[in-house]
Structure 1
Amino acid sequence: MITADTLRCQREHVIYLAERGARWILTVKGNQLHLHAQLAALPWRAVPDATSGHGRREIRTLKVLTISTGIDFPHAAQALQIRRRRRRIDQPKRFTTETVYAITDLRVHKARPAQLAAWIRGHWAIENKIHWVSDVTYDEDRSQVRTGTGPEVMAALRNAAIGALRTAGITTIAAGTRHHARDSSRPLALLGIT
């Protein structure tokens, strides 16, 4: 099962996966305006919640529709609507709600809603532990390195730093990065080079 964020929600990627017999779930956001609009227009109000989950600050619901026609995307068999309602940290009595859509090539007899929800949560765990840290803590999206192999080298260095900090038991990467940046001997000691 391959799960991917919106960057990989492209026709050529799906065709590539299908040719190799891979199964997939893809998140659909603004990078696919036409597909996103098609998914948002489905009759979600008539669909009961298939699963729900609760965290300390979040309530998640999943709705699933079988697609027979009407979605202009190759191999799409089911559409998913994931709604996340989060309690705000700064104002605990207020909530924010986010609706995300996804598609999968798996038919209902191959993937029940609980399994789909588990795969999506597993993907978000990766997003939160790696991609979010790269995007927010290391501000990867605003990097000025754009030519040659520079972007790949910088991404590898960021991932190595995140991996070294996590291996050392540091769970808050931003705080760990600040701590090690204050003294040039700390990163060397972390890597066992001193």
Structure 2
Amino acid sequence: MPTALGRWACISPNVPRESLPDLPFYLAQVPEPRDPRGRVYPLDALLAAAACAVLADACSLVAIGEWITDAPSGDLRRVGFPIDPLTGLVIVPHCTTLRRILERIDGDALHGALSRYPQQRQRVGEPISPQEPRHPGVQ
């Protein structure tokens, strides 16, 4: 995880943080597949949390769901998860909810959003460090 996050955070100190695009901005461009009635979790919050889980080596939907459940509530609030008005706790989705939503997402739109994020950071800041191969001998 530090390698992936470090690569995305590799920017020039001359570039102010405010001028960099945030990942949720790009994830908000992914079309919403759900009916507006009954939505509890914002789509961009679910996608941002799932992306963080994958960067933390979550390899399955169950692992992504567990990562979201175990994430600090302050971080979940920052990405946009709702707060229960009675308890004041962050409401996290059940693994089945996450699976259903991710199954219905337009994969091409999600890929485009996730691809534009580092490209824009590269244009605003310094070049992103080259990706290290995950497996020896694979380029």
Q: Compute the TM-score of the two structures, normalised by the length of structure 2.
A: 0.30
Structure number with bigger Rg: 1
Instruction: Tell which has more relative contact order, 1 or 2 (C-alpha 8 A, sep 6+).
Output: 2
TM-score by length of 1: 0.23
User: Which has the larger strand fraction?
Assistant: 1
The structure richer in helix per residue is: 2
